[in-house]
Structure 1
Amino acid sequence: MNGWLLAAGITALGVAAVHLAGGHRDVVRPLLSCGLADEPKRVLHAVWHMVSVDLALSGLALLYLSLADGTPGTTLAVWFIAAHFTAYAAVFLVVTLSVGWTRPLLRLPQWILLLPVAVLAAAGTT
């Protein structure tokens, strides 16, 4: 068993849980009650659910890969998931830093949850 990947999988599932609970309260409810036209509103709602599924499936994949350590293709799959979470964190950092807010890193702190998954997964490839 690969402890790094196990930790990455558990962390990713925690991120998915935070996304589902906090995101529904702080993002989905306000989105659905805003004055945005129905089509873009429903597209954004669907994208939020797609990210929920993506986070959960990535966490489950990391858990599986922690048990399949050494199986051909494991390293490539783990690097893909690590890159995936790095990209998610980078998007939040770029968006946050481009707005010009004071204390921007804490305004959209999602990157703080996403980056550890990438680091733990990458550590699990060594």
Structure 2
Amino acid sequence: MNGWLLASGTTSLGVAAVHIVGGHRDVVRPLLSCGLADEPKRVLHAVWHMVSVDLVLSGFALLYLSLTDGIPGTRLVAGFVAVHFIAYAAAFLIIAVSVGWPRPLLRLPQWLLLLPVAVLAAAGAA
């Protein structure tokens, strides 16, 4: 068993739960009730659901890899998931910093949830 990947998968599923519960309250409800045109509103709603699915599938993939450590492709897939979550974290960091808000890293703190998944997956892939 690969403890790093187990921790990464568990963390990813935790992030998914926070995303689904907190995101629905803080992002989806306001989005669906705003004055944005219907088509872009529904596209953003679908993208939110796509991210939900991605977080859950990544978590289950990492859990599976943790239990089958050593099979061909484990390091490759775990490394891919690590890079994937680094990219997600980077997107939030870049957007937060570029907006010009005071204390931007705390206004869009999602990177704090995404980065540990990446670090743990990278450690498990090494």
- The alignment's TM-score, normalised by the length of structure 1, stands at 0.99
1:125: Cα distance to partner?
A: 1.7
1:17: Cα distance to partner?
A: 0.1
| Structure 1 residue ranges without an equivalent (≥5) | none
Q: Which residue of 2 aligns with 1:88?
A: 88
Quote the Cα distance in structure 1 between the aligned partners of 2:41 and 2:103: 29
Quote the Cα distance in structure 2 between the aligned partners of 1:27 and 1:104: 17
Q: Which residue of 1 aligns with 2:45?
A: 45
Quote the Cα distance in structure 1 between the aligned partners of 2:31 and 2:73: 40
Q: Is 2:99 the counterpart of 1:99?
A: yes
Q: What does 1:59-74 align with in structure 2 at a 5 Å threshold?
A: 59-74=59-74
SS in structure 1 opposite 2:125? coil
Quote the Cα distance in structure 2 between the aligned partners of 1:18 and 1:106: 16
Counterpart of 1:39, as a letter, is: E
Q: Which residue of 1 aligns with 2:2?
A: 2
Q: Which residue of 2 aligns with 1:114?
A: 114
Sequence identity percentage: 80
Quote the Cα distance in structure 1 between the aligned partners of 2:100 and 2:68: 44
Quote the Cα distance in structure 2 between the aligned partners of 1:74 and 1:65: 6
Counterpart of 1:62, as a letter, is: L
Quote the Cα distance in structure 2 between the aligned partners of 1:100 and 1:46: 28
CA-to-partner distance for each residue in 1:19-60, whole Å, 9 max, x for gaps?
A: 000000000000000000000000000000000000000000
1:109: Cα distance to partner?
A: 0.1
1:63: Cα distance to partner?
A: 0.1
RMSD between superposed Cα atoms in Å: 0.4
Moved over 3 A (4+): none
Counterpart of 1:85, as a letter, is: F
Q: How many residues align?
A: 126
Quote the Cα distance in structure 1 between the aligned partners of 2:123 and 2:56: 20
1:11: Cα distance to partner?
A: 0.1
Q: Which residue of 2 aligns with 1:12?
A: 12
1:68: Cα distance to partner?
A: 1.1
Quote the Cα distance in structure 1 between the aligned partners of 2:22 and 2:122: 27
Quote the Cα distance in structure 1 between the aligned partners of 2:73 and 2:42: 37
